[in-house]
C-alpha cells in the first residue's frame, strides 16, 4: 500500500515538471502583415503582387490564375497563445487581380486600380 501511495505522489509531482520543457513555436507558410495586404489593388499584375507579398506558398497546378498564401502557427506551449491559421486567396483574370478572399481585411481603396 505504501508503494502505491508513494508512486501516486511521485507521479503527481512529476506531472508539474512538464512546463519546464521548452517547446518552440513552429510557423509554416507565408507570414503576411496587414499593412502589406492593404497595398493590394484590383488590376495589379502577378509581378506586382510578388513584389508586395512575395511568392505564394501554393500555386494550383491546374489553375495558374489562383494563388494561395497560407500561414499556420503551432504553439509549442499554451501560455504563449493558441494555434492559428490565416489564408489569403488571390484570383487572377488575364494576369491581373480579379478577386481576393481570405482572413485579411482589404483596404478601402482595393477597388481603385493603381493606374488611376
15 vs 1, 9, 12, 39, CA distance in Å?
21, 10, 5, 49
Q: What was the pLDDT predicted at 66? A: 92
Q: Would you state the pLDDT for residue 49?
A: 93
Q: In angstroms, what CA-CA distances link 59 with 41, 51, 79, 110?
A: 20, 16, 35, 23
Predicted TM-score (pTM) of the model is 0.74
Count the Cβ atoms, other than its own, within 10 Å of residue 72. Answer: 14
What backbone torsions phi and psi does residue 32 show, to the nearest 5 degrees?
-110, 130
**Model pLDDT for residues 2-53, shown as the tens digit of each residue:** 888 888 877 777 666 666 677 788 888 888 888 999 999 999 999 999 999 9
pLDDT reading at 102 higher than 80: yes
pLDDT digit string, tens, across residues 54-68: 999 877 788 888 999
Question: In whole angstroms, what is the distance from residue 105 CA to residue 88 CA?
Answer: 10
Distance CA 73, CA 27 (A): 4
Amino acid at each position: 500500500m505504501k508503494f502505491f501511495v508513494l508512486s501516486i505522489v511521485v507521479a503527481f509531482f512529476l506531472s508539474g515538471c512538464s512546463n519546464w520543457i521548452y517547446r518552440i513555436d513552429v510557423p509554416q507558410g507565408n507570414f503576411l502583415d496587414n499593412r502589406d495586404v492593404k497595398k493590394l489593388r484590383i488590376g495589379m499584375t502577378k509581378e506586382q503582387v510578388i513584389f508586395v507579398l512575395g511568392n505564394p506558398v501554393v500555386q494550383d497546378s491546374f489553375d495558374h490564375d489562383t494563388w494561395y498564401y497560407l500561414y499556420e502557427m503551432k504553439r509549442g506551449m499554451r501560455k504563449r497563445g493558441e494555434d492559428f491559421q490565416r489564408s489569403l486567396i488571390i484570383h487572377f483574370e488575364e494576369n491581373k487581380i480579379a478577386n481576393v478572399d481570405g482572413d485579411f481585411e482589404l483596404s478601402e481603396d482595393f477597388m481603385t486600380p493603381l493606374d488611376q
